[in-house]
Amino acid sequence: MLNQMTISMQPAARLTEPGARKDMTSPAEMTQSFGDYLKKAIDGVGSEEQNVQALTDKYMLGQVDVSEVMIASSQAELSLQLTSQIRNKVIEAYQDIMRTQI
C-alpha cells in the first residue's frame, strides 16, 4: 500500500573524492528507481480501490460492517488525493525546469 512505502536515497558522493565515481548512481538508474517507486505507488492505490469494491460487495451481502467499508473508502480516497497532488507537483516542477533559461 501507498502509506507503507518508503524512499531510500543515499546522498551522492562528490566527484573529487577518490573512488567516488564507482559509488555514484547514474541518472538513468535514479530515473529507473523513481519510476519503479511511482509504479508501486499507483499499483497500491489501485489495490486499495479494489479492496473498497470487495468490501462494498461483502457489505451488500451482510458480511461486513458499514464502518469497515467507510474506513477502507476513506483510505482509498486519501491515497488517490495524495497521488493526484504528487502528480501536480511533478508537472509543476517539470514546467519550472522547462521555463528555466540556459
What are 3-55's pLDDT values in tens digits? 444 444 444 444 445 554 555 788 888 878 888 888 888 999 999 999 999 99
Predicted model pTM:
0.63
Does the pLDDT at position 77 exceed 60?
Answer: yes
For the residues 67-93, what does the mean pLDDT come to?
A: 94
State the DSSP string of 18-63: TTHHHHSPPHHHHHHHHHHHHHHHHHHHHHHHHHHHHHHHHHHTTS
pLDDT of residue 22: 53
Where is pLDDT greater, at 59 or 20?
59
pLDDT of residue 38: 83
pLDDT-derived band at 65 (thresholds 50, 70, 90) equals very high
Residue type for 26, please? S
